[in-house]
């Protein structure tokens, strides 16, 4: 018997970053939007815990106990006094180390899949608490849709979305380390007064009304200067997408994936083709939003 869970990627339509806290994390106002690129996590009883991964970027995925999917299975098993003897297979379609929460998606997916496989019957709140222990973005991977994340991003308030938004994601060569991007943010902010992060009312309105032009005007990522500082070539990718007719462009989360909002699905196809021919990215993917959260399939 196996259980498979499908989990979406995310883009941060607003990532407002505050000062560094005493625990080393940053306070955030993090507006997550789930997008239609998915990993599938399948769990099957086995002699002992092991992970495999398939997909074009599978070689970049750690297959040891640091993988969030393995940690999720371990945490759930420990809570219920179970041996986490399970084979976790990740069919990977979300860019690896790309700022689209692919690792977090696998954590949330493995958690939901193991809960179903073992019949541990966790409540939504119990699952969310384990997700928060796994990482700041993991609760959102479970929930999907759109949500405002406060605290270090793990405290979610679900948001209403009044329409579909169309995106292109330009995948860069190689990943960026999230802690390194936050460290660069701190370096760039040295000596400056970093205001407390707040969600923009205009951005929340644009989501609620499904207004792509208004959303384009309100997109904001405080980590973008840090990501560009570590990877200056991303400026060329952003410029290529804008020149190809995207309504707006920004770095996705801590990057290096860049995100382009377009008016229609056809525009998204055009922007993706232009990005591919520009030679400023490894590949370009089209995806719609909002997407649903983790789901047993």
Which residues have a catalytic role annotated? 10, 137
- 179 lies in the site for ligand C5P, by CB under 6 A: yes
DSSP one-letter code for 179:
H
Q: Which of 6, 26, 89, 231 binds ligand C5P (CB under 6 A)?
A: 26
Q: Does 152 bind ligand C5P (CB under 6 A)?
A: yes
CB closer to ligand C5P, 3 vs 68? 68
**Cβ atoms within 10 A of the Cβ of 54, count?**
12
Which of these ranges, 3-11, 20-28, 110-118, 271-279, lies near ligand C5P under the rule CB under 6 A?
20-28
- Whole-angstrom CA distances from 284 to 152, 259, 270, 275, 276 are 30, 10, 11, 7, 6
Nearer Cβ to ligand C5P (40/137): 137
Nearer to ligand C5P, 25 or 270 (CB): 25
Total number of residues binding ligand C5P (CB under 6 A)? 11
| Residue 153 in the binding site for ligand C5P (CB under 6 A) | yes
- The pattern of x and - marking residues 115 through 144 that bind ligand C5P according to CB under 6 A reads --------------------xxx-------
CA pair distance 55, 4, nearest whole angstrom = 16
Instruction: Kindly tell me which residue out of 182, 206, 231, 281 binds ligand C5P, with binding defined by CB under 6 A.
Output: 182
Indicate whether 107 belongs to the interface with ligand C5P (CB under 6 A). no
Nearest-10 Cα torsion for 63, 66, 67, 72: 130
3-state DSSP assignment of residue 202: helix
- Cα dist. 100→81, 224, 255 in Å? 33, 14, 8
150 binds ligand C5P (CB under 6 A): no
For residue 68, the minimal CB distance to ligand C5P (Å) is 9
- Strand ranges for the chain from DSSP E: 3-20, 26-45, 50-54, 86-91, 146-150, 155-158, 165-171, 220-221, 248-251, 258-262, 283-289, 295-296
Cis status, amide bond into 140, omega within 30 of 0: no
List 5, 9, 28, 108, residue binding ligand C5P (CB under 6 A): 28
Distances (CA, A) of 33 to 103, 130, 160, 280: 16, 21, 11, 25
Which of the stretches 23-31, 34-42, 163-171, 280-288 binds ligand C5P when contact is defined by CB under 6 A?
23-31
Q: How far apart are CA 115 and CA 94, in angstroms?
A: 23
Shortest distance (Å) from residue 222 CB to ligand C5P: 11
3-state secondary structure of 259: strand
Nearer to ligand C5P, 109 or 135 (CB): 135
Task: Provide, rounded to whole angstroms, the least separation between the CB of residue 72 and ligand C5P.
Answer: 13
CA angle 219–222–227, rounded 5-degree value? 105
**CB–CB of 89/69 below 8 Å?**
no
Nearer to ligand C5P, 57 or 137 (CB): 137
Whichever of 226 and 281 has its CB closer to ligand C5P, that residue is 226
The yes or no reply on residue 81 touching ligand C5P (CB under 6 A) is no
Which residues here bind ligand C5P, judged by CB under 6 A? 25-26, 28, 135-137, 152-153, 178-179, 182
């Amino acid at each position: 018997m196996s259980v498979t869970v499908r989990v979406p990627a995310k883009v941060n339509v607003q990532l407002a970053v505050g000062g560094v806290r005493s625990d080393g994390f940053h306070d955030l106002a993090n507006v997550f939007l789930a997008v239609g690129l998915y990993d599938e996590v399948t769990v099957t009883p086995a002699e002992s815990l092991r992970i495999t991964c398939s997909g074009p970027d599978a070689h970049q995925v750690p297959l040891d106990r640091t993988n969030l999917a393995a940690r999720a299975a371990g945490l759930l098993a420990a809570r219920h006094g179970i041996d986490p003897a399970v084979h976790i297979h990740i069919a990977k379609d979300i860019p690896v180390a790309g700022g689209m929460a692919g690792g977090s998606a696998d954590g949330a997916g493995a958690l939901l899949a193991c809960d179903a496989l073992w019949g541990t019957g966790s409540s939504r709140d119990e699952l969310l608490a384990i997700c928060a222990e796994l990482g700041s973005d993991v609760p959102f991977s479970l929930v999907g849709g759109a949500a405002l994340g406060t605290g270090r991003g793990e405290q979610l308030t679900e948001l209403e979305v009044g329409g579909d938004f169309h995106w292109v994601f330009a995948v860069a060569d190689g990943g960026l380390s999230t802690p390194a991007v936050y460290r660069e943010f701190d370096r760039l902010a040295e000596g400056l007064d970093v205001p407390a992060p707040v969600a923009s009312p205009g951005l929340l309105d644009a989501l609620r009304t499904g207004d792509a032009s208004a959303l384009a005007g309100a997109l904001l990522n405080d980590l973008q200067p840090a990501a560009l500082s570590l990877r200056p070539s991303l400026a060329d990718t952003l410029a290529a997408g804008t020149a190809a007719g995207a309504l707006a462009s920004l770095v996705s989360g801590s990057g290096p994936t860049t995100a382009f909002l377009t008016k229609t699905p056809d525009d998204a196809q055009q922007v993706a083709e232009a990005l591919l021919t520009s030679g400023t990215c490894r590949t370009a993917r089209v995806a719609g939003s909002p997407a649903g959260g983790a789901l047993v399939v």
